[in-house]
Amino acid sequence: MSIFLPKSIRTLIEEFAKLPGIGPKSAQRLAMYLLHSPDSKIKELGESVFNLKQNVVFCENCWNIGESNPCAFCSDEQRDKSVICVVEEVLDVVAIEKTREFSGLYHVLHGALSPVDGIGPDQLKLGSLFKRIEEGDQEVREIIIATNPSLEGEATALYIQKQLLNSSINITRIARGLPVGGDVEYADEVTLSRAISGRSAL
């Protein structure tokens, strides 16, 4: 941070630079952009930061965020209560909803198992998932594990599978393969071998 700028600008640059994916140069540019913006725009941004957590609650059933507890999904009678899609983050719910392919319920873990980062099962919303399945007054028939196809996501999927080994529930995992529009030539080996082993009949 430069000492050649006024204190208030330096402070904002420092705050911006703390955000993920924003380096010191981008932070400088953002602060300068705001400095040249009308006061009303600055106020709008500041207020929306302050109000971020207003009326935002976690659903204590699926741990998605929403404006009510239980959330809009859990309290929606139209949704298929026999299928639970397990995801790592809230934004994964958004992404899946956009496909309009899924009409069941969700369960947001808020992370994935990562011993290196000190994230074990207790740090995730796993206990409440198993409780939901066990206590379920609604009968859960299928658990779709939609964690990321990363080391951590796969480990989490494996962990859930192991824990539910003795139950009669159908445990499925979202397909891993080539992204649509992708190129066999440029696909990495792991993705390609997954795509081959996960092939389906035409």
Contact residues for a copy of itself, defined by CB under 8 A: 2, 4-9, 11-12, 14-16, 18-22, 26, 28-35, 39, 41-56, 65-67, 89-91, 93-94, 97-98
**106 or 159, CB closer to a copy of itself?**
106
**128 or 163, CB closer to a copy of itself?**
128
- Nearest distance in Å: CB 32, a copy of itself: 6
Instruction: Name residue, tokens 């956009």.
Output: 98
- Nearest distance in Å: CB 23, a copy of itself: 11
Residue 84 parent element (H or E): strand 80-87
How large is the angle between the packed helices 24-35 and 39-50, nearest 10 degrees? Answer: 130
- Nearest distance in Å: CB 169, a copy of itself: 26
- Nearest distance in Å: CB 30, a copy of itself: 6
**11 or 170, CB closer to a copy of itself?**
11
Q: Which SS3 state, helix, strand or coil, does residue 143 take?
A: strand
**53 or 199, CB closer to a copy of itself?**
53
Instruction: Locate 4 and state its tokens.
Output: 């050649």
- Nearest distance in Å: CB 18, a copy of itself: 8
Inter-CA distances, 122 with 64, 131, 161, 198, Å:
18, 14, 16, 32
Q: Which SS3 state, helix, strand or coil, does residue 28 take?
A: helix
**93 or 126, CB closer to a copy of itself?**
93
**Pairing verdict, β 80-87 and 57-58:** unpaired
Peptide bond into 70 cis (omega under 30): yes
